[in-house]
Amino acid sequence: QVQLVESGGGSVEAGGSLRLSCVASGYSYSAYSMGWFRQAPGKEREGVANIDSDGTTNYARSVKGRFTISQDNAKNTLYLQMNSLKPEDTATYYCAAARGHLWVGFRFLPRYYDYWGQGTQVTVSS
């Protein structure tokens, strides 16, 4: 049974930092592409960052230079280091896994991911 469990969310002031973690189990972690998505109230879920099965990373324009995605294959864990947080980063953050390699045009699209975590809330106050 595939499970993705996020942690690390919380409330911070603007300019602060948080590190999200996502522990995966139930599948061959290194064979999957992984992504972080977020969803704010009343908005669609959007891709934030992803790391493909070949190790390449991609970032949404809104977070590039502030967020860093990484993973520890030995621990089956995905991370999202978030620095210089802004109020507009407030959302529920989800990690997701997709089987195998994803074409770059699909990596920010939720429908191409097969498994999802339950989400962790990030709130940034001004």
Residue type, 55: G
pLDDT at 30 over 80: no
What pLDDT does 29 receive? 74
Mean pLDDT over the full length of the chain: 95
- Identify the pLDDT of residue 85: 98
Residue 121 CA to residue 89 CA, distance in Å, equals 10
